[in-house]
Amino acid sequence: MRTSVVTLGPLGYLGGMRTLLKTILAALLVAGLFTVGGCSKPAPVVTTGATIIDVRTPSEYAAGHLEGAVNIDFQGATFESQIGALPKDGTYLLYCRSGSRAGSAMTQMKQMGFTHVTNLGSLQAAADATGKKIVT
């Protein structure tokens, strides 16, 4: 019985992989599933009719917040009652320092029956997403 060994050389396997990757990338580009170029900004979040809620502490809010935002401190004693007074079918955009408290607030609001709640993340991320100014 005779066996054959095919030697591709040091770059043979890599060359084949490069060709395969180029083919896959070309297919993705044609399909529109992949783009080449710099980072593009995401589409702005629509704020018309939405209530923007800063869930940070009052002192954090006073140091700078989004224009038009209301402050309902997630860690405050009255958070649940203040949120409970809002219409459950409204649209709410939440933010905080890093997005963590806003995420927890969003979870709690959804458990309370709110259906249109979005965590915008940090103050700067929220400003970028909405186009709103940071004011004091």
Domains belonging to the chain, first-starting first, are 9-40 (no CATH), 50-135 (3.40.250.10)
pLDDT over 70 (residue 9): no
- What's the mean pLDDT in 100-106? 98
On average, the pLDDT of the chain sits at: 84
- What's the mean pLDDT in 101-122? 98
Whether 96 is catalytic: yes
Instruction: Identify the active-site residue in 52, 66, 96, 120.
Output: 96
Q: Which residues contact 115 (CB under 8 A, 6 or more apart)?
A: 88, 89
| Sign of the CA dihedral with 120 first, then 124, 128, and 134 last | positive
- What's the mean pLDDT in 72-81? 98
Q: What is the pLDDT of residues 38-74, one digit of tens each?
A: 455 556 787 889 999 999 999 999 999 999 999 999 9
For residue 10, the model assigns a pLDDT of 54
Q: What's the pTM?
A: 0.69
What is the percent of the chain with per-residue pLDDT over 90, rounded to a whole number?
65
CB 83, CB 112: distance < 8 Å: yes
